[in-house]
Chain A
């Protein structure tokens, strides 16, 4: 009686024979469920010291450190995949920003760190996804 549940295959795939990797859905596995998503900005003021951190917190009330994912806008306004915690971005050939993020039981922190001096204010937009699934 253990072989029961729901499977859903995409068009042209046999649900009876397709491996799990080809299924749209199977009740044998769960997916990451989005608890909260949105867009926030983080600004580095001009003249900020090297290695100073600038961040925006996104609060949640899950009570544990959740899984998350985020994308950050680059200097051209494009959203790039954020494989945090340490992705360096080159700006104007001579300046660098490091991008990072972490979660704890109350918030997701999205961080820009000055790696080398910036002559102007820099604002970057983050698109974030906080998942229901815990990391603890």
Chain B
């Protein structure tokens, strides 16, 4: 009774014989699920050279996440992690039980946007 579940294979792959890596979905494995995503604009004003963006998720635990940012439209969309730097602008991020905090440091007048993905899947 242990051999049950759901599989969905890609076109051209036999669902019975193909390896798990060729499946679109299998109940055998968990997968990252996007709980929340949005685009957030940012800009640095004043002499401090930085801005903090707080993104509330209220999941009650620390979820996985990734985000991409751009600076003044230069260099496309950069994937970012806990510490990232491009075009003289750096980001530092921390995930908490109820929110994601992204600190952006650069020069006054720098601006851009970022896209974040917060997953339902726990990382702690």
Residues of chain A having any CB pair with chain B under 8 Å: 8-11, 20-26, 29-32, 65-70, 83-86, 100-104, 109, 133-136
Instruction: Assess whether B6 is interfacial by the CB under 8 Å rule.
Output: yes
Give the residue among A25, A69, A135 with the most B Cβ atoms within 10 A: A135
Cross-interface CB contact of B75 among A20, A24, A70, A102, cutoff 8 Å: A102
Main secondary structure, interface of A, reads: mixed
Question: From DSSP, what is the main secondary structure of chain B's interface residues?
Answer: strand
Q: Which of B34, B35, B63, B77 contacts A135 (CB 8 A)?
A: B77
Q: How far is the CA of A69 from the CA of B32 in the complex (A)?
A: 14
Q: Are B34 and A136 in contact (CB under 8 A)?
A: no
Q: With a CB–CB cut-off of 8 A, which chain A residues contact B82?
A: 83
Q: When the two chains form their complex, are residues B79 and A20 in contact, meaning their CB atoms are under 8 A apart?
A: no
Residues of chain B at interface, number, CB under 8 A: 40
A-side contacts of B77, CB under 8 Å: 65-67, 102-104, 135-136
Considering the complex, give the chain B residue whose CB is closest to the CB of A34: B24
Bound together, the chains give a CA A26 to CA B63 distance in angstroms of 16
Contacts of A101 in B (CB 8 A): 78-79
B5, B39, B76, B120: the one within 8 Å of A20 (CB): B120
B:24-63 near A, CB below 8 Å: 25-35, 37, 39, 59, 61, 63
Please give the residue numbers on chain B whose beta carbons come within 8 Å of chain A beta carbons, in ascending order: 2, 5-6, 25-35, 37, 39, 59, 61, 63, 66, 68, 70, 75-86, 113, 115, 117, 120-122
Q: How long is the Cα–Cα vector from A29 to B66 in the complex, in angstroms? A: 16
Q: Could you give 14 example pairs across A and B, Cβ below 8 Å?
A: A11-B5, A11-B27, A20-B33, A21-B33, A25-B27, A29-B120, A31-B31, A65-B76, A68-B79, A69-B66, A69-B79, A84-B84, A109-B76, A133-B117
Are A86 and B85 in contact (CB-based, < 8 A)? Answer: yes
User: For residue A98, which residue of chain B has the nearest CB?
Assistant: B85
